[in-house]
Structure 1
Amino acid sequence: MSDQREIKIGLIGAGQIGMQHLERYATIAGVRIEAVCDISPEAADSAAKQYAIPRVCTDYRDLLADSDIEAVDVCLHNNYHEPVTVAALQAGKHVYCEKPIAGSYTDGAKMTHAAEASGRMLHIQLAQLYSKETKAAKQLIEGGKLGKLYHARSTGFRRRNRPFVDGYGTPAFTRKEIAGGGALLDMGVYHISRMLYLMGNPQPLRISGQLYQEMAMDEARRAASGFDVEEFAAGFVKFEGGMTLDIAESWSIHLGGFEGSSIVGNEGGIRFPGSTGAGEASPFTYHSTIADLDFDGRVDLDLAELRRKRLSPCPDAYDSSQHHWIAALRGEVPLLPTAALALNTMLISEGLYLSHALGREVTADEVRALSPSRSLPI
């Protein structure tokens, strides 16, 4: 039964992503941002003024000491996720953390273990789980229309849109010390986690990958950014049970677009919209054989979403990652396994990095054993 009590949240990190979170919270009834924390007093004060937040602090520990706050939203760079999230969980707060789960598998595992030990919820921002396309794909899979799943493809495309060096974002996105990685951890987390979700989050066994930073960039901005992460990543994963996944993730590549991610079974397949540099997209499609005829179909996604919302007792619970988070805090719906999905996504991503470094396929156990902590003190 729905709990309509007010949900009081503390925001840690008032940068670009933090402001996007505040904008989303403003659309959800019954949510109160009780405090905002940022190491920049000016950023915290600006956010507090814009969204009428009563408390401001520059040390996240002060925010965690507030007993009125039941949940925190961590909007920091990747390598700061683990120390702040673990401290918040140990302080008895539920935690919503930006993607990726952390800067390494080891740090992400510490977060999930802390959530289990504390009995608190850990939710990771995996926005594509709430898209109309993902919901339709899940419905087709659960309805048996793909049959036995055996392969998926995860793609993400930008033609030339590397953070900072191509004019978007800050240098923090391009430095392994702060971000942990490049295109894989910035964009790939969305696409890989969606395919894992649709596949039932199988456990990776073996991972192979190659990373690239080949395209020219302005040398002054290269030097200013300290750019030492991948702009393109390619990979292949074998899972327990025999399923496989191939990966192509691009911040920058000399192509006009990628076909969309896809997932196939022995009775049908799904292709997600692809992307081009012109902002165009191919449609969401379903493919099968009917009466011995090859069948390619489109789904009325808007009508499916309308019907889903009309029939749901909690119609807004899957509108966005934050809508879902609030619905779970209220006990309206069970929390999707975003932490487990994000942790396996990090295992795969780090497997690609390790495979590239060693020049060979690696096992998931090797990745777990060799994963370093990249956490930074804050």
Structure 2
Amino acid sequence: MTAKRIAVIGVGQIGKHHLDQYSKIKDAELVAVCDTNLVEAQGVAAQYNIPVYTSNFRELLHRDDIDAIDVCLHNNLHAPIAIEALQAGKHVYCEKPIAGSYRDAIAMMETATASGKLLHIQLGNLYAKETKAAKAIIDGGKLGRLYHARSTGYRRRGRPYVDGYGTPAFTRKATASGGAMYDMGVYHISQLLYLLGLPKPVRISGQTYQEMDMLAERRHISQFDVEELGVGLVKFEGGITLDIIEAWSIHMGAFEGSSIVGATGGIRLPAAKDTEGLSYHYTDCDIDFDATIDLEAMDRRWHMLRDTEWAYDSSQHHWIAALQGIVPLLPTAQLALDTMLISEGIYLSSKLGREVTADEVADLSVSTALQL
């Protein structure tokens, strides 16, 4: 197979993580990096032995030696750069969330369709061993008809910058559009949408909060104007429901992991700090069973017996395999789009003080894309 040539735009913490992943894939050729901090771009290019570095992303869009652009920037920069790259004939891989608003996400999807190029969103939880096992159990019919799921995300005091981690850009609507829901919730909600089979959201209710104390100086510098906690309830076509709680910061012990229940069984995914993995709950012979899954044994076996299992080892592995035509691209863009619809629906419901429809969210969404 021909190696796929990649350019990464944004070489901060997330960009470096992407570069680390690419360095493990023999068919990923890193051609160029771009960052507004040219000195940082030069240093990263030297570190990863990348021949080209620049501070102008448009220089990369018309190079014939680049197959795909990887966008590793803050949320409100995703759409404008991704759209230009798609229009320039490049495949696009973008960090989560897909954009800063549902309207911008729709524009990205429409541009990808019109250009005939692939659009892939970084939803890392899809490649976790527990997600693969849960998908196999569900696809095998072991849960029966699915009817409810719970999405949970937890940090005790883990707000970016104000609690010591990350930069103020994560805490400002001007750059990030949202807080805990866009930063963490995207992983958990998209994971459940994937396992549920991408049901169509119909109605959304929710509330967002910013209640806990923070250091005064950090509050001033951060201009913290996003939520630290989001909660919601989503109703889908077919009667499926999903309840959500996503905390950057909360006075509470650790939450249990996300879960899905069906007519004949249920599964619970591990929480972030769990030492135990996926659990499977069912009744047989009038006996209730709570089973644990040997995820490591599953993973070893699947890698030995399935020729393309490596293509699901990470988001980057999957991206390169999809670009090469080895496996079809998972519907990450649609998953990210529906996750954006749900998250923005929670914001709108909190603002209006009532349940909202998916159509209302789409109609009232406005672009948050930054001008370049």
TM range (shorter): over 0.9
Matched residues in 2 for 1:283 and 1:57: separation? 43
- Residue of structure 1 equivalent to 2:271: 274
- Residue of structure 1 equivalent to 2:337: 343
- Residue of structure 2 equivalent to 1:58: 55
TM-score, with length taken from structure 2: 0.99
- Residue of structure 2 equivalent to 1:204: 201
Q: Say whether 1:260 aligns with 2:257.
A: yes
Q: Structure 2 counterpart of 1:342, which letter?
A: A
- Residue of structure 2 equivalent to 1:41: 38
Note the C-alpha offset of 1:274. 2.4
Question: What secondary structure sits across from 1:76 in the alignment?
Answer: coil
- Of 309, 330, 334 in structure 1, the residue corresponding to residue 328 of structure 2 is 334
Q: Structure 2 counterpart of 1:302, which letter?
A: E
- Map 1:83-102 to 2 at 5 A: 83-102=80-99
- Residue of structure 2 equivalent to 1:189: 186
Note the C-alpha offset of 1:280. 4.3
Supply the RMSD in Å over aligned alpha carbons: 0.8
Note the C-alpha offset of 1:68. 1.0
Note the C-alpha offset of 1:282. 4.3
Note the C-alpha offset of 1:284. 1.6
Matched residues in 2 for 1:80 and 1:142: separation? 37
Count, aligned residues = 372
Question: What secondary structure sits across from 2:199 in the alignment?
Answer: coil
Q: Say whether 1:16 aligns with 2:13.
A: yes
- Residue of structure 2 equivalent to 1:309: 303
Question: What secondary structure sits across from 1:313 in the alignment?
Answer: coil
Note the C-alpha offset of 1:30. 2.1
Q: Structure 1 counterpart of 2:191, which letter?
A: R
- Residue of structure 2 equivalent to 1:126: 123
Matched residues in 2 for 1:198 and 1:166: separation? 33
Q: Structure 2 counterpart of 1:216, which letter?
A: D
Contact 2:130–2:277 (Cα < 8 Å) also in 1:
no
- Map 1:295-306 to 2 at 5 A: 295-306=289-300
Contact 2:27–2:320 (Cα < 8 Å) also in 1:
no
- Residue of structure 2 equivalent to 1:135: 132
Cα distance per residue 1:127-163 (max 9 Å; x no partner):
0000000000000000000010000000000000100
Contact 2:68–2:91 (Cα < 8 Å) also in 1:
yes
After TM superposition, the structure 1 stretch with the greater mean CA deviation from structure 2, 305-314 or 89-98, is 305-314
After TM superposition, the structure 1 stretch with the greater mean CA deviation from structure 2, 224-233 or 308-317, is 308-317
Q: Structure 2 counterpart of 1:243, which letter?
A: I
TM-score, with length taken from structure 1: 0.97
Q: Structure 2 counterpart of 1:354, which letter?
A: L
- Map 1:98-177 to 2 at 5 A: 98-177=95-174
Q: Structure 1 counterpart of 2:104, which letter?
A: D
Note the C-alpha offset of 1:341. 0.2
Question: What secondary structure sits across from 2:301 in the alignment?
Answer: helix
Identity of aligned residues (%): 62
Question: What secondary structure sits across from 1:96 in the alignment?
Answer: strand
Matched residues in 2 for 1:350 and 1:26: separation? 35
Question: What secondary structure sits across from 1:288 in the alignment?
Answer: strand
- Residue of structure 2 equivalent to 1:370: 364
Q: Say whether 1:325 aligns with 2:319.
A: yes
Matched residues in 1 for 2:309 and 2:263: separation? 33
Structure 1: gaps of 5 or more residues: none
Structure 2: gaps of 5 or more residues: none
Matched residues in 1 for 2:275 and 2:153: separation? 12
- Of 1, 6, 12 in structure 1, the residue corresponding to residue 3 of structure 2 is 6
